[in-house]
Each structure stands twice: as C-alpha cells, then as structure tokens.
Amino acid sequence: MNSSDKIKVMIVDDHDMVRIGLRTYLMLEPRLDIIAEAGNGKEALQWLEARKEEEHPDIILMDMMMPEMDGIEATRSVMAKFPAIKIVMLTSFLEDDKVYAAIEAGAVSYVLKTVSAEELIYAINGAFKGMPVMTADVSQALTRGLRQRTAQSGDEDLTEREKEVLLLIADGLSNKEIAEELHISIKTVKTHVSNLLMKCEMEDRTQLAVLAHRKGWAKRA
C-alpha cells in the first residue's frame, strides 16, 4: 500500500473515439494510469480473469450501453469476482431506473458523458477512496429510482419461473404465446401471472411490462 502509487484505470467502451477522448481527459491528471481498455463487458471480464489481481485496475470506467455485455451486467460480474475494483459508470442518458440498477449492481459512481475532464478526474479520485461522486441531476434520478423501488415491496422474491414469465410479458407476449414458449399449459401461465400481479402489486399485465422496463429488466431487442 503505497499512497504515492498511481491510480490504475481501465476503460471499457465500445466507441474507439470515446476511448480516445477519455484517454486525453485522463492524461491531464498524472496520478492516473490507463493500464487497459476493452470494447465491451465480456472483453473486460476476460482481460481481468487472464491476469493476477496485482495487475488489476483500481478503477474501471464503464460505459452503460455496449454490445455483447452491457455495463450493468458487466459491473455485476466484476463485483462478484473482483470486489476490490471500483467501478464508475459512464452514460449518455439519465434514466432513473438505470441509475438505480447501476448502483445496485455495485457501481460506486454514475457519471454523465457530458462531464468535463476536471469533473471526471474528481469523480475518479472520489471513487478511488470509495466515495461516490454524484452531480445534482444524477442524485435526483437516484432518489426517484429509489422511490420506485421502495414503493413496491415485491422486489426479488419472485421465483425463477415467475421471472421468466415476467420477461416474456415485458416482451409483449400473450398468455398463449408464453405457454408455447415455455412448453407449459396456458393455465399455468395464468397462475404465474396472477402471482406476479399479487407480488408486484400491479393490476394487469401491461403494468407488469411497464414495471419490468422501468427497472431495466426487459430486453431491448
């Protein structure tokens, strides 16, 4: 533990030009050292797994929207395997539920891509000390996201099957289509849907779909 050591940073973003921009940003702060880059979450994980923990970065600048494996999922995986790494989530947009999802996944900070170099460096320094740095708009989005979370009790007490059904509902499938997709009776689907409605305190499948999308559970394709 040498306090004079540089902060090792890894950049994960699918856009080459953004990575270049970030590199230029971080070159302004001599204490920062960019030791690795990756084009998506999968690449980042593979890079980390192929190396010893001593070679790992202190900070990962993680883009939210990426092909293969997005920032949320990648953050979850990285935190599960290498909890020592601090992750700063980078994004272009401010979506309440995404902010919450990022924090829940284990990200220390959540930074908009509109930041200046100084702000980003400040956020990285803060993250290195384990201190989340939030701009006003982000923290507002977070509280809104939290309100949504705490509002409905049924968070993760859904069974695996129920989660499957919920995702299909969030994809716009009817009960019949879900039954065919899962190779079960339409009656069983109805049972799951009823349980979902009860647990999530929703009134119909449309509200379930909305819920899933707001929480970021639904697939984007």
Adjacent-strand bridge partners of 103: none
Using CB under 7 A, list all residues that contact DNA: 159-162, 174-176, 182, 184-188, 190-194, 197-198, 204-206
If one asks whether residue 204 binds its own copies (CB under 8 A), the answer comes out as yes
Task: Provide the pairing of β-strand 59-63 with 86-91.
Answer: parallel
Among 9, 25, 43, 192, binds its own copies (CB under 8 A): 25
Least distance (Å) between residue 195 CB and its own copies = 18
Nearest to 162 by CA among 114, 202, 129, 125: 202
* 110/96 Cα distance (integer angstroms): 11
170 binds, among DNA, its own copies, none (CB under 5 to 8 A by kind): its own copies
CB 107 within 8 A of CB 88: yes
Among 6, 42, 104, 115, binds its own copies (CB under 8 A): 115
* 221/207 Cα distance (integer angstroms): 20
198 binds, among DNA, its own copies, none (CB under 5 to 8 A by kind): DNA
CB 71 within 8 A of CB 102: yes
CB 78 within 8 A of CB 87: yes
The alpha carbon of 136 is separated from its chain's Cα centroid by a whole number of angstroms, namely 20
162 binds, among its own copies, DNA, none (CB under 5 to 8 A by kind): DNA
When the beta carbons of 41 and 56 are compared against its own copies, the nearer one is 41
Residue numbers at the binding site for its own copies (CB under 8 A): 14-22, 24-25, 65, 92-93, 95-97, 113-117, 120, 144, 169-172, 174, 202-207, 209-211, 213-214, 218, 220-221
